[in-house]
Amino acid sequence: MSLNILDRQLTTSAPAPAIEEDPLDLMEEIDRLKAQKNAAILAHFYVDGDLQEIADFTGDSLKLARDTTTVPHPVIVFCGVHFMGESAKILSPQKTVLMPDLLAGCSLADSCPADKLRAFQEKLRAEGRDFQTVAYINTTAAVKSLCDWIVTSGNAREIIDRVPADKEILFVPDQHLGRYLSEVTGRPMILWPGSCMVHEVFSIQDLLRAKKNTPGAVVMAHPECPQNILELADVIGGTEKMRRHVASITTPTTFLVATEANMIHPLTKIAPQHTYIPVPGIMASTGETCACNRCPHMARNTLQKVRDCLRDGTPEIVWQPYFADAQAVLQRSLLQ
Ligand code: SF4
C-alpha cells in the first residue's frame, strides 16, 4: 500500500518516541557531572523520591532558601519550582542557579500577579488603610519586591509577631494559610483570594472514609489545605513540622497525610516505623477521586532534566533589576 503526500509528511515529521534512560545510569552520570562542575543539588520534599535521593540537600522552602546561602559550591541545581529558584538566586547572587525546567511554575504564585497586587495596595492606601504586606514564600520575585515580609509555613507565626500591632496585615497569596495564621496569631488579616491547586482539591469524603477505615490514624494536614480539611486534622504544619512530628513518635502509627504525595518519601525515611497513607484529591471537573495530590509543576523535575542542565549549564535563573528589592525583604525575613 502506497502512502499519500500527507501521510508521508505525517510519518516523516512525527517526533521520535522518547528513549527511556536507566535511572541508575542517570544517577551515576549526575554524580560525575556534579563533581566535574562543582555543583550542589537542592531538592524540595515535593519532587520525586529519586531526585531527593541524589540531592545534597532536601527540605522545605525555608530550609532550602537558607541552604543556598551556606553551600560552598558555585553552582546550584534547584529541583523545585520557579519561585524557589528565584529565591536561591536572590539570596546567593554570586552563584549560578540552574533549574531542570524553567516552566515548573506554581498555581499559588500565579494567583497573585504583581500588577494586581500593586493596584490593590494602592487602593488600600488611597482608602487610608495603614498596613504591611506579608507574603507567603510561594510568590514571584516581582511580588516579593512589593512586600514587607516573607513567611514560610515554618516561620510564619514568628514573622507575624514582628508586624507592629498598630498595622493591619495584608496577607498574600494563600487565603487558607492566611485564615489559619489569623486564627492562631489572633491578628485580623486582609486575605488575598489565592490558593494552591494541589491542596485545594483534597477530598473531604475520602478523608472521612480513610479515618473510618483506619481507626486510630493520625491526620496530618498542611496549612495550605482548606478549612474543612484542617478541621479534621490532628496535626497542622508545614513539611518540616510533619517530619519532626513523626520522628518524635516511636510507637508504630498510621498517618493520613494531606499534602503533596511525594512528602511520603522523606517521612518514610526519617520514621520508617509508621504507615503513611496519602489523602487523595478530587477532580473539580467531575468530582471523581484522582491523583491531584501530585503537583504537576514539581513533577516537571526529572533525572534526565537534572542531567541535561548540569551537562549544558542551562536553563539558568538570571538576575533581574527587581530582585534587589526582593533581596532586602527575603534577607530580613528568612536570615535575620
Ligand atoms: S504544591 Fe501547590 S503551592 Fe506547592 S508548588 Fe505545587 S502548585 Fe505551588
How confident is the model over 296-305, as a mean pLDDT? 96
pLDDT at 284: 43
Confidence grade of residue 2 (pLDDT, cut at 50, 70, 90)? very low
Pick among 3.40.50.10800, 3.40.720.10, 3.30.2320.30, 3.20.110.20: CATH of 18-105+299-319 = 3.40.50.10800
- Which residue lies with its CA nearest to atom 8 of ligand 1? 106
Of residues 218 and 282, more confidence is placed in 218
Cβ(26) – ligand 1 distance below 6 Å: no
Confidence grade of residue 204 (pLDDT, cut at 50, 70, 90)? confident
Q: Using the mean position of ligand 1's atoms as its centre, give its distance from the Cα of residue 105 in Å.
A: 8
Give ∠ CA 137-143-148 in degrees, rounded to 5: 75
Residue 329, CB-side half-sphere exposure with 13 Å CA sphere: 25
Across 69-78, 165-174, 197-206, least confident range: 197-206
Four-CA torsion 57, 63, 65, 68, nearest 10 degrees: -40
For residue 119, pLDDT over 60 is answered with: yes
Q: Give the mutation target among 47, 295, 301 for probing the ligand 1 site: most ligand atoms within 8 A of CB.
A: 295
Cβ(297) – ligand 1 distance below 6 Å: yes
pLDDT tens digits, 251-300: 999 999 999 889 999 999 999 999 999 887 544 444 444 455 789 999 99
For residue 181, pLDDT over 90 is answered with: yes
pTM, to two decimals = 0.86
Q: Could you name the CATH architecture of 202-292?
A: 3-Layer(aba) Sandwich (3.40)
The proportion of the chain whose per-residue pLDDT surpasses 90, expressed as a percent, equals 78
Across 163-172, 222-231, 267-276, least confident range: 222-231
Across 15-24, 36-45, 47-56, 104-113, least confident range: 15-24
Confidence grade of residue 211 (pLDDT, cut at 50, 70, 90)? confident
Rg (CA), the chain: 22
How confident is the model over 66-77, as a mean pLDDT? 96
pLDDT at 18: 63
Q: For 22, which DSSP code?
A: P
pLDDT at 289: 47
Per domain, the residue ranges of the chain are 18-105+299-319, 109-195, 202-292
pLDDT at 285: 45
Between CA 265 and CA 284 the distance in angstroms is 27
Q: How many other CB atoms are there within 10 angstroms of residue 201's CB atom?
A: 19
Confidence grade of residue 206 (pLDDT, cut at 50, 70, 90)? confident
pLDDT at 292: 55
Whole-number mean pLDDT of the chain? 90
Atom of ligand 1 at shortest range from CA of 174: 3
pLDDT at 281: 59
Between CA 187 and CA 185 the distance in angstroms is 5
Cβ(137) – ligand 1 distance below 6 Å: no
C-alpha cell at 117: 497586587
Superfamily for the 109-195 domain: NadA-like (3.40.50.10800)
How confident is the model over 185-202, as a mean pLDDT? 90
18-105+299-319 matches 202-292 in fold: yes
Q: Where do the H-state alpha helices sit in 171-299?
A: 175-185, 197-200, 204-213, 227-230, 239-247, 264-270
pLDDT at 287: 45
From residue 160, give the alpha-carbon distance in Å to each of 61, 65, 73, 235, 282. 18, 19, 33, 21, 32
pLDDT tens digits, 131-152: 999 999 999 999 999 999 999 8
For residue 218, pLDDT over 70 is answered with: yes
Residue 160 dihedral angles phi and psi, to the nearest 5°: -65, -30
- Which residue lies with its CA nearest to atom 5 of ligand 1? 106
